[in-house]
Amino acid sequence: MNDVDDPLRAYRPSGPPPELRERILRNAPDAAPQFRIRDWLPAIAAAVLAAVFAALSHGVRADIDARLAVPEDLRPVEQWLQDDIGGPR
């Protein structure tokens, strides 16, 4: 140990005063915590927003897939090209 630690070794904090516990218990609410919807509103709003954006992105993704899909009358040509080139099936 060094010179600073030796005098501190004898020091012990006395702790809180005994009346502090009584004051805290007197001012603390007796009932269990209540469920308040106001406390959950931010989480509910975030979940609703996530669901809305998921639905919107699904709609956009379906629209893009529909626009990029090969029409049925061109599928045989596409299949013939893949067979001729040896591309993926």
- DSSP symbols for 46-57: HHHHHHHHHHHH
Map out the domains of the chain as residue ranges: 5-85
- Predicted pLDDT at 48: 97
Q: Per-block average pLDDT, block size 10, for the chain (89 residues)?
A: 70 78 80 80 96 93 83 65 61
Name the 3-class secondary structure at 17: coil
- Predicted pLDDT at 17: 82
CA distance 32 to 27: 14
- Predicted pLDDT at 62: 87
Give me the torsion for CA of 60, 66, 70, 72, rounded to 10°. 170
- Predicted pLDDT at 23: 86
- Predicted pLDDT at 73: 65
User: Which pair of structure tokens corresponds to residue 52?
Assistant: 């809305």
- Predicted pLDDT at 1: 53
36: Cβ contacts below 8 Å, ≥ 6 apart: none
